[in-house]
Amino acid sequence: MSTMLLFLGSLGGSEMFLIFVVVLLLFGGKKIPELMRGLGRGIREFNNAKANIETEIKEGMREADQQKKAE
Evaluate whether residue 69 is within a structural domain.
yes
- Residue 63 is predicted with a pLDDT of 92
Evaluate whether residue 7 is within a structural domain.
no
| pLDDT bracket for residue 1 (50, 70, 90) | very low
Evaluate whether residue 35 is within a structural domain.
yes
pLDDT per position as a tens digit, 5-36: 555 667 778 888 888 888 888 888 788 888 88
User: Above pLDDT 70, what percent of the chain?
Assistant: 87
The domain total for the chain is 1
Evaluate whether residue 50 is within a structural domain.
yes
Kindly state the average pLDDT of the residues 45-56.
96
Instruction: Determine the structural domain holding residue 60 and report its residue range.
Output: 28-71
Look at residue 57 and tell me whether its pLDDT is greater than 90: yes
Q: Per residue, what are the HEC states of the chain?
A: CHHHHHHHHHCCHHHHHHHHHHHHHHHHHHHHHHHHHHHHHHHHHHHHHHHHHHHHHHHHHHHHHHHHHHC
Evaluate whether residue 13 is within a structural domain.
no
Evaluate whether residue 67 is within a structural domain.
yes
